[in-house]
Amino acid sequence: MSGRIWTAALVVIGDEILSGRTQDRNVAQIATWLNVQGIRLREVRIVGDDEGAICEAVNTLRARNDYLFTTGGIGPTHDDITVDAIAAALGVPVVIHPEARAILEAYYASRGGLSAARLRMARVPEGAELIPNSYSGAPGIRVGNLFIMAGVPHITAGMLDRLTGQLEGGAPLLSHTVGCWVPESEIADLLGAVEKAHEGCQIGSYPFFREGKVGANFVVRATEQARMDACVDALVAALAAAGYAVEEGGI
Amino acid sequence: MSGRIWTAALVVIGDEILSGRTQDRNVAQIATWLNVQGIRLREVRIVGDDEGAICEAVNTLRARNDYLFTTGGIGPTHDDITVDAIAAALGVPVVIHPEARAILEAYYASRGGLSAARLRMARVPEGAELIPNSYSGAPGIRVGNLFIMAGVPHITAGMLDRLTGQLEGGAPLLSHTVGCWVPESEIADLLGAVEKAHEGCQIGSYPFFREGKVGANFVVRATEQARMDACVDALVAALAAAGYAVEEGGI
């Protein structure tokens, strides 16, 4: 339990998520990527294509986290209002980024040219840098510790790849999973006792029903390998004493 | 555009979502179900297993929406703190619900009996009613317009099924999708103009890249069938005039 914990928040922007039309994939993708950078995803908000809602979420979350990510709403159509909303939240004007314009001019040179709608994708909050887009023209945007990413998951994945190793973080959160064919309610006290005896470790219990039987996966999380290993060993021993064998890596 | 719009918010509770271990399925599932009830999902927050974070989200969102749902954290283990956190948010004590105790006693009669850990699942904020669980013993919980649901998606689905038709709502949000093999940036102005000309309608544009080609699905949303149909007709005609055929129902 040493060292500062770095945190991030995420604002997922889009009516299509709130209507149920589109299944979000960016929360899990960004959470997993952040863990590797030594940064914890602490909170997520999903809001519609509404400037007031975006501003509120952005300003609240950036004030209390080291990093803030957004996904969605940076395309060329009328419902893409993320850049305008974030500029309003930051109190800065929207400007055309010259490098983004050059990228889009090159990308659309063989695709009908850079129309006014396409030029929208070169608009950034003043003071921003670009995050390269490996799949299509329109770049992501970085304004200090605020990262404005695409909504389409594979485009966001490419942008995350370009940011890998660029963000200061702490010790990555380690995790170790063991699975067990036991109703979690039978060993609930045991789980709580093992967690309490191992400072710096959390044990999550995730029940399931499969092949006609109930079971659970137990995930031990810690930032220090030795503490995590000791907690896992104690948990496996306690389950064995209660008559339950575990499956390494989960079921 | 007649009638009141009923809104709901959702708080997804669980470290496993924020760590990226578990892909959430409840946002899309609850959003879709709410649409059918004539209720709009307006905002979602995802928070960890942390009482302060749960309280903040619950109290903010219930104050400004007609309904509030939560998912996750109602099992028997030490990391299941949703009931305690919500009772604290509401300023009421946690009590054992006699009917929930009876349900759990019956459910566990042939499964080793009702231990202290299992009895945790009969704990509710004072004044609560139960939402039947069709798949396992532990019920969901209703406190006024606050609905405390399971985290496991198929258990939540069963609880939603039991609530169908029970909640007052307005006109369901209708939607109609047409797909088109066109880069959305080519017809962005057209989309905006059609939306602007059709009060009470929103057009969402969702681009994709498939079979080596770019395309987009356009979703027209409205609460009135006639307005939606007119907007769809105008959109299809405008796309045809620009040289693009649509595929009904989307691509």
Question: Can you name the CATH fold of B6-163?
Answer: Molybdenum Cofactor Biosythetic Enzyme; Chain A (3.40.980)
Q: What is the pLDDT of residue B172?
A: 86
B59 has a chain A CB within 8 A of its CB = no
Residues 87-106 of chain A with CB under 8 A from chain B are none
Tell me: pLDDT of B209 over 60.
Answer: yes
Tell me: pLDDT of A2 over 70.
Answer: no
For residues A129 and B66, what is the distance between their CA atoms, to the nearest angstrom?
41
CATH 3.40.980.10 positions along chain B are 6-163
CATH 3.30.70.260 positions along chain B are 174-248
Residue A70's pLDDT band (boundaries 50, 70, 90)? very high
Average pLDDT over residues A77-94: 97
Tell me: pLDDT of B2 over 70.
Answer: no
* CATH C-level class of B174-248: alpha beta
Sign of the torsion angle spanned by Cα atoms A143, A146, A152, A156: positive
For residues A151 and A82, what is the distance between their CA atoms, to the nearest angstrom?
11
Q: What is the pLDDT of residue A211?
A: 83
- B189·A41 Cβ contact <8 A: no
Q: What is the pLDDT of residue B179?
A: 96
Locus of tokens 């104690």: A234
Residues B121-168: pLDDT tens digits?
A: 999 999 999 999 988 889 999 999 999 999 999 999 999 999 999 999
- A28·B22 Cβ contact <8 A: yes
- Residue of A19, A43, A203 with shortest CB distance to B53: A43
3-class DSSP assignment, residue B233: helix
* Nearest 10 degrees: Cα torsion B132, B138, B144, B145: -80
For residues A183 and A163, what is the distance between their CA atoms, to the nearest angstrom?
42
The answer to whether the CB of B235 falls within 8 A of the CB of B204 is no
Tell me: pLDDT of B1 over 70.
Answer: no
Q: What is the pLDDT of residue B204?
A: 93
The answer to whether the CB of B23 falls within 8 A of the CB of A28 is yes
- B28·A29 Cβ contact <8 A: no
Average pLDDT over residues B94-112: 95
B84 has a chain A CB within 8 A of its CB = no
Nearest CA to B91 out of B133, B146, B132, B28 is that of B146
Burial class (CB in 10 A: 0-12, 13-18, 19+), B208: middle
A43 has a chain B CB within 8 A of its CB = yes
Give B81-150 as a DSSP string: -HHHHHHHHHT--EEE-HHHHHHHHHHHTTTT---HHHHGGGEEETT-EEE--SSSS--EEEETTEEEE-
Tell me: pLDDT of B28 over 60.
Answer: yes
Tell me: pLDDT of B95 over 60.
Answer: yes
Q: What is the pLDDT of residue A105?
A: 95
Residues A41-62: pLDDT tens digits?
A: 999 999 999 999 999 999 999 9
A192 has a chain B CB within 8 A of its CB = yes
Q: How far is A79 from chain B (nearest CA, A)?
A: 7
Tell me: pLDDT of A1 over 80.
Answer: no
Locus of tokens 């609530």: B163
Q: What is the pLDDT of residue A173?
A: 87
Nearest CA to A221 out of A186, A166, A178 is that of A178
Residue A172's pLDDT band (boundaries 50, 70, 90)? confident
For residues A67 and A163, what is the distance between their CA atoms, to the nearest angstrom?
13
State the distance between the two ends of chain B, measured CA to CA, in whole angstroms. 29
Tell me: pLDDT of B107 over 60.
Answer: yes
Q: What is the pLDDT of residue B202?
A: 94
pLDDT over 90 for what percent of chain B?
A: 91
> To the nearest whole number, what is the mean pLDDT of chain B?
95
Residue A86: both structure tokens together: 């974030």
pLDDT over 70 for what percent of chain B?
A: 99
Q: How far is B213 from chain A (nearest CA, A)?
A: 12
Q: Which of A129-133, B31-35, B206-210 has the lowest average pLDDT?
A: B206-210
Nearest CA to B96 out of B76, B123, B117 is that of B123
